[in-house]
Amino acid sequence: MLRAGTAPLVVSSSVLGRGCSFPPSERIYLGIIGLGVRAGQIVEELHRIREGQIVAAADIDADHRSAFVEGLGKEIPTYNDYRRLLERKDVDGAIVATPDHWHTLQVVHSCQAGKDLYCEKPLTFTIEEGKECIDAVRSHNRVLQVGHHQRSEYEGRFRRVCEWVRGGLLGKLERIETHLGQGPGSGGTDPDTEPPPGLDWDRWLGPAPLVPYRASRSHQTFRWWYDYSGGKLTDWGTHHNDIALWATESDRTGPVSIEGNGDFPPPGGYDTAYRFRITYEFENAPPILCTSDEPHGIRFVGSQGTIWVDRQNIRVEPKDLEESRLASEAPRLYYPQEGNQSHLKDWLHCIKTRKDPICPVEVGHRVASLCHLGTIAIRLGRRIRWDPQSEIVVGDEEAQAMVRRERREGYRI
């Protein structure tokens, strides 16, 4: 029997390779690690683009595994231990859709196993892990796409705004605001219990500290716990700050100063900030103000006007500014094959070409680092200085110690 909140995944047979128009000789065979809500969305996207075939799946929850297979309507091998999936010779690429604290281990192990991979955002759980991911991807010559899909999808509106900003449509860019909305201000105080049958709780925790099972710690609410994620800052923060960095050509570097404040839930439950206001200063780019003040979206403020962009709209002020057209020689940004509108399809295409996708490992690392630095600053309650070249906190040993976290015995690289 399925537990509450675990719904069967209903997927067309083309995801399994039946009735697919894509030539079988060119189809890419995939394993998916982590079978929660996001996995269902990914599989539906694979159905739409018709180029990837799921041949194996892994999750530490037996209910998730059975629901996934039931939704597919066809038996495929499933595993509690994702490393067994990576041993399969018929798996070309791995899709990582697990909680944040597992990402780096699974990226590194996938690269070591010779698999290309798509990793959901944020790429990493800590800043130091980004270096491990880059080393694994580059030393094993793998193609990694980080799941910052606003670059590829939503009718290209985020890319278009980045081109406008780079092309000078707003005049001198003065600042960027990234608005993430608020997280939960309370919760997570449900009692510790025995884990449900079929859930391998020790393995769900993995590299994180060993604690008793609590329903609110696992599955969809994991991100409100600092032991596994960074709350809104590493959830929506990676999406919107990625676009801010892309617009200013800063997505392979980082800020030099980070300061802000945050409000945290009362002790005993969720412990990531639910309200925050963080200012990032850069050496060669305008500042980014990242806040929970407004619903999701990005505002670019320049000397000639402003642009607001979210997943549904672009709003330009003054309105006649939108009529201005960039010169034909204005820079154009990478875009997955015209008419594609798919982050996953860009990854599959790059597996064949062996070229970097639209969001490669280095970009994923820098975007995640920006969000982690904001988390460090508001948890410490003070300004920190950052050297983006050496990737070291300057003059603050306590903050520097927070760029990494100790992994539990048995879950170390």
pLDDT tens, 261-304?
A: 999 999 999 999 999 999 999 999 999 999 999 889 999 999 99
What pLDDT band is residue 74 in, cutting at 50, 70 and 90? confident
pLDDT tens, 181-204?
A: 999 999 999 999 999 999 999 999
pLDDT of residue 295: 87
What pLDDT band is residue 92 in, cutting at 50, 70 and 90? very high
**13, pLDDT greater than 50:** no
ω into 122 cis (within 30 of 0): yes
- Single out the residue of 51, 193, 30 nearest to residue 97, CA to CA: 30
- Single out the residue of 382, 358, 123, 159 nearest to residue 234, CA to CA: 123
pLDDT of residue 334: 85
Mean pLDDT of the chain: 92
pLDDT of residue 50: 83
Q: Tell me the three state secondary structure of residue 118.
A: strand
Per cent of the chain over pLDDT 90 is 83
pLDDT of residue 23: 52
What pLDDT band is residue 4 in, cutting at 50, 70 and 90? very low
Q: What is the mean pLDDT of residues 85-92?
A: 98
**370, pLDDT greater than 80:** yes
**What is the residue type of 314?**
I
Q: Which value, to the nearest 10 degrees, does the dihedral of the CA atoms of residues 55, 138, 119, 211 take?
A: 100
Question: What is the C-alpha to C-alpha distance for residues 142 and 320, in angstroms, rounded to an integer?
Answer: 46
Q: Is the whole-model pTM more than 0.85?
A: yes
Backbone φ, ψ for residue 154 (5° rounding): 60, 45
- Single out the residue of 344, 337, 340, 348 nearest to residue 44, CA to CA: 344
Residue 381 near residue 374 (C-beta atoms within 8 A)? no
Residue 48 near residue 24 (C-beta atoms within 8 A)? no
pLDDT tens, 302-328?
A: 999 999 999 999 999 998 887 776 655
Token output for 383: 């300004």
**Domains of the chain, with CATH numbers?**
13-151 (3.40.50.720), 154-186+217-332+361-401 (3.30.360.10)
Q: Tell me the three state secondary structure of residue 299.
A: strand
Residue-wise DSSP of 178-195? EE-----SS---PPPBPP
